[in-house]
Structure 1
């Protein structure tokens, strides 16, 4: 029995619709699977010449920096202004920002304090720390004008003697060498190195360790 013409037309339309729908799914899947470019902070050499005094603790722990949830995300925040935070499309940190910042800061500080042992919190070490470096970050991105900022607070103290620690606000800025993400991350690395410079100075200025009293 011969089928009517409308039957073939209806079947063809259904087949075409299914094909178009599948093509759309494949296209969306292809777009969604593109990987972002990963970026990492890097240690930088100090621009200051500094001797290491005997009062500097022999073993120093850099605590994992405090980073607000608005910044502590895989996607890099490109612009951070007073009323907005704008992530960068297709750009992500290679690891969580807070521990990465702590490890880079500890490497920077180790370069500035030769002869001392510096490690980041949660590193596999059995050596007890004698000094502590703590950083709280509130700003870590460009502003709308393109200037890169690192703001927050830095404090250092001897273990068991937090009352005689030294603290200083952080309000650092730098002009990146370009407009791209790589230039911004390089500028943030430079500012992290400046935090290490400040931490080294304050570790030098810590009061002499108190003499334990024996009963």
Structure 2
């Protein structure tokens, strides 16, 4: 009688061990499957003619955009409406949002301003900036109807001449080509390109740089 009981106990332990191992493998598999898909903004080509304007500063720095903590998070904000904000648990930005927007905006501007040097803040460069592009973003997602929004403000000024700032509010919208996250990120990239178009126009409209001629002027007698 003892042998069948011993055999039953051994069999029960074996099945229990198999069950624990299987549960562990399923748990590991579940952890792997929960990793979010990473998305990145991308530069877009301008739809406006590219013109060489002599008054545009030669070296331009794009300051890291100001983005509220509600948007500047790893998980992408999918819907941002009047009184609510929701993230996409299975979708995340590939890098912090603020510097990513700054680098994409700098790449967009470089394409629109051939012959100029454009870089993002904190990039390794020894060339001092002659002008600055500054962006504040307050909305950067879909609304409940599916439209994608980029709102905030844009300002441009020469280095050392903050009194001559050209500022404009941003209230840009786009209709994505689909309902997925990829389509939303593509639409946000297009809107960032439109910000670059607006920044280009304002860089071209900057007043001439003040004269740096420090030579002594001839004395004029009365």
TM-score above 0.5, yes or no:
yes
The answer to whether the aligner puts 1:66 opposite 2:52 as a matched pair is: no
In our comparison, the structure showing a higher alpha carbon Rg is 2
Shift of 1:116: 1.0
Structure-1 residue corresponding to 2:76:
76
Residues 64-92 of structure 1 deviation map (CA, whole Å, 9 limit, x = unaligned): 11111111122211111122221113212
Residues 51-71 of structure 1 deviation map (CA, whole Å, 9 limit, x = unaligned): 232221110000111111111
Structure-2 residue corresponding to 1:109:
109
Task: Give me the whole-angstrom Cα distance separating, in 2, the residues matched to 1:101 and 1:64.
Answer: 8
Structure-2 residue corresponding to 1:144:
144
SS in 2 for 1:66: coil
Count of paired positions: 214
Shift of 1:104: 0.8
Moved more, 43-52 or 204-213: 204-213
1:152-163 equivalent positions in 2, closer than 5 A: 152-163=152-163
SS in 2 for 1:33: helix
Shift of 1:5: 7.7
Shift of 1:30: 1.5
SS in 2 for 1:137: strand
Structure-1 residue corresponding to 2:88:
88
Structure-2 residue corresponding to 1:51:
51
Shift of 1:38: 1.7
Shift of 1:45: 0.9
Structure-2 residue corresponding to 1:198:
198
Residues 90-147 of structure 1 deviation map (CA, whole Å, 9 limit, x = unaligned): 2121222111111110010011111111111111111110000011111111111100
Q: Given the superposition, is the C-alpha separation of residues 69 and 15 from structure 1 closer, same or farther in structure 2, using an over 3 Å criterion? A: farther
Structure-1 residue corresponding to 2:207:
207
Task: Give me the whole-angstrom Cα distance separating, in 1, the residues matched to 2:13 and 2:171.
Answer: 64
> How big is the alpha-carbon RMSD for the aligned residues of Structure 1 and Structure 2?
2.2
SS in 1 for 2:162: strand
Unmatched tracts of structure 2, length 5 or more: 217-222
Structure-1 residue corresponding to 2:129:
129
Shift of 1:10: 7.0
TM-score, length basis structure 1: 0.89
Unmatched tracts of structure 1, length 5 or more: none
